[in-house]
Amino acid sequence: MESTDRGARTGTATLRPSNAEDRTTRAAGNAGEPTLEFADGLPYDMYVRASTLHSLQRTVSEDTGEMSFLMISQIMELYFGLTCFELREAQKLLREDDVWGALTPLRRAALHVEGLNAAWRGLRWMTPADFNRFRDLLGEASGFQSAMYRQLEFLLGLRNAALMRPFHRQPEVHAALAETLRAPSLWDDVVALLARRGFDIPRVLLTRDVAEEHEAHPAVEASWVEIYRTDTPDNHLRMLAEALTELAEQFGDWRYQHVKAVQRTMGEKPGSGGSAGLTWLRRSMARVVFPEIWSARTVI
C-alpha cells in the first residue's frame, strides 16, 4: 500500500487519515449514528480489501463442504504470513540486542499460531466420506506445497533445501525461499545473541552454514540452564526463553493437530502431493523447534 501525505492509496481511491477532532465532529454531525454515505468509496474496503478477499473463494466442486476446506486453508495461509512477519521483526530486534523489544513480536507470533490451531476446529466435522466428495478434484494440490508455510519452517530453524524444489517454476517464490534459507534463522539469531551476552558458545556454531538445520549442542543447552537458574524480574533472557517456548509449543500443537485432521479425514491413505500422508507427517513432527530450550529442562 503506497503512502502519501494525504493518506494511503489503494487502487484509485484514497484512504484519508483523520484525527480525534475529525471523529468528534462527525459523531456530532451524525447525532451519534454511523456515517452512511462516502463520496470516494468505502474506507473499510480500501483498507481491508474485503471485496478482493471474498472474491478468492473459488471451489472446484459442487459439494458445500469444500468451501470450509478452502477458506480455512486460506485463513491458515494468512496466519502463516502474519507469523513470518512477526518473526522477522523479532530477528531484527534481537540483532540489535533489544531483547525486551523482541518479546512483543514473539508473543504476538505465538498468539497467531494459537489462531492457526483454532482454525483446525472448523474442519472437525469432516469425515472421510465428506472429504472424498471433492478430494479427487484437488488433483495433486497439497498443503505440502505452501510456500509461506515453508518460509515459516525456515524461519523457525527447520531447514531442508530440497523442500524448495516444488517452487522452481515460480522464480520469485523460489528466490524468496532461497533468501530465507541462506539467512540466519530465528534460533541462529538467538544463539548469536547468547554469544554476545558472554555465554560460552563455540565459534563453530556461529560460523556454520545456516542453510543447514541446526543440531542441538550442549553449550547452548548449558547457556539456557544458567539463564533459567537466574530467577530475577530483570532477567530478560529468561523471558525470551519463555516466549520462545510458547511459540515452539503452539507450533508443535499445530503440527499435531494437522496429523489428527489427516488421520480423521483420510486415515493412512497416501497424500495428495505424493507423500505417504500420515506417515510422512509423523516423521516431520520429530524435528524439534528450538531443541535446547526443551533439553535444558531436563538439567535444570
Asked whether 107 and 244 are in contact (CB, 8 A), the reply is no
Strand order in the sheet with 2-4: 2-4, 7-10, 13-15
Asked whether 269 and 221 are in contact (CB, 8 A), the reply is no
**Calpha distance 246→2 (Å, rounded):** 35
**Calpha distance 254→149 (Å, rounded):** 12
- Please check if 168 is assigned to a binding site: no
N residues, the chain:
300
- Tell me whether strands 2-4 and 7-10 are parallel, antiparallel or unpaired: antiparallel
**Calpha distance 229→131 (Å, rounded):** 50
φ and ψ of 74, to 5 deg: -65, -40
- Please check if 135 is assigned to a binding site: yes
| Residue 7 bridge partners (DSSP) | 4
Q: Count CB neighbours of 185 within 10 A.
A: 25
Question: Minimal CA–CA distance to 152: which of 131, 123, 181?
Answer: 181
Distance of CA 247 to the CA centre of its chain: 10
Binding-site positions for substrate read 135
Binding-site positions read 135, 258
Binding-site positions for heme read 258
